[in-house]
């Protein structure tokens, strides 16, 4: 009797499970086709922008409630106890890489190169992300109006409020955007990853210099990084969307703007064989 019930229960299970599996397969296929249609860069850019914005909002709420203050001050005191003259001089030079003058010079040179090499929309992306980021940072600083750290007298001058860090935010926007546009011009994957790794390394050094010099709290720097990355990702996604949908009827409008195809090592091996 028990043996007769087992096949019946299995058939009943299959009867209900098959439609569920069919729906899941169809949903997965639609998601895959949607990502393929939109483009991986567009989807990734929008995802990073959304996650970065959510992280910034959460961090800002903690800063306003004062829950990060004890940790912020303890980090500044720990770094202050390890100051040396030689390291002070190095950090002053590194932090200069995130100043408005240096950042705008990098944007001007990179933008001119993009225009001269017929990458007009990439140049527009760079300018829009940079100047839009400057405006956004100014609005956020005025809105939060957090005082600067006063644990010790810093060796560099400051002229605005503390949250979010303008150096961290502007450096993230400019260096990530320039790195992204430069990586698009490389054919090899390792070269693309190397360019982006170098960009993030420069950003990390600038962010650390702001902490070491005592002009920002860790929460300021982290907030500047996440909102800067979110803004840069949003601008990159906008460029990808413009190229994919705006100029779809006329592929000639995208000439020179598409990412360079990555070299396939197996293709070269086939030619040699």
Model confidence over 96-110: pLDDT tens digits?
Answer: 998 888 999 999 999
Low-confidence ranges of the chain (pLDDT < 70): 1-42, 153-156, 243-273
How far is residue 185 CA from its own chain's centroid?
Answer: 19
- Residue showing tokens 């800063």: 63
Helix residue ranges, H only, 100-154 = 100-116, 120-144
Answer for the pair 133, 227: CB distance below 8 angstroms, yes or no.
Answer: no
What letter does residue 186 receive in the DSSP assignment? -
Backbone angles phi, psi at 118, to 5 degrees: 65, 30
pLDDT at 260: 55
CA distance 217 to 224: 11
The 10 Å CB-count burial string (b at 16+, else e) for 188-215 is eeeebeebbeebeebbebbbbbbbbbbb
pLDDT at 249: 47
CA distance 165 to 222: 8
pLDDT at 250: 46
pLDDT at 263: 57
Residue 73's Cβ-count burial label (10 Å; 0-12, 13-18, 19+) is middle
- Residue showing tokens 């000439």: 255
pLDDT in tens, 17-47: 455 545 445 544 444 444 444 456 667 778 8
CA distance 135 to 133: 5
Answer for the pair 162, 220: CB distance below 8 angstroms, yes or no.
Answer: yes
Comparing CA positions, the residue from 231, 270, 222, 257 lying closest to residue 120 is: 257
The pTM is what?
A: 0.74
* 3-class secondary-structure state, position 116: helix
Answer for the pair 154, 267: CB distance below 8 angstroms, yes or no.
Answer: no
């Amino acid at each position: 009797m028990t043996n007769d019930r087992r096949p019946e229960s299995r058939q009943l299970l299959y009867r209900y499970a098959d439609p569920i599996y069919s729906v899941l397969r169809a949903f997965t296929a639609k998601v895959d086709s949607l990502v393929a249609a939109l483009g991986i860069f567009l989807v990734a850019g929008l995802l990073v922008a959304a996650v970065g914005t959510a992280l910034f909002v959460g961090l800002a709420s903690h800063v306003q409630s004062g829950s990060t203050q004890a940790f912020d001050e303890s980090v500044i005191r720990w770094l202050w106890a390890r100051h040396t003259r030689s390291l002070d001089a190095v950090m002053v030079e590194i932090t200069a890489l995130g100043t408005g003058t240096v950042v705008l010079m990098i944007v001007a040179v990179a933008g001119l190169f993009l225009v001269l090499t017929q990458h007009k929309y990439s140049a527009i992306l760079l300018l829009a992300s940079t100047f839009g980021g400057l405006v956004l940072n100014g609005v956020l600083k005025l809105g939060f109006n957090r005082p600067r750290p006063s644990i010790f007298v810093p060796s560099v001058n400051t002229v605005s409020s503390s949250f979010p860090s303008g150096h961290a935010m502007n450096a993230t926007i400019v260096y990530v955007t320039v790195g992204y546009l430069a990586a698009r011009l490389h054919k090899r994957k390792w070269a693309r990853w190397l360019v982006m790794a170098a960009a993030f390394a420069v950003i990390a050094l600038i962010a650390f210099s702001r902490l070491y010099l005592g002009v920002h709290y860790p929460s300021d720097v982290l907030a500047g990084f996440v909102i800067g990355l979110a803004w840069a990702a949003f601008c990159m996604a906008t460029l990808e969307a413009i190229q994919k949908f705006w100029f779809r009827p006329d592929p000639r409008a995208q000439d020179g703007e598409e990412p360079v195809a990555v070299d396939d090592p197996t293709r070269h091996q086939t030619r040699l064989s």
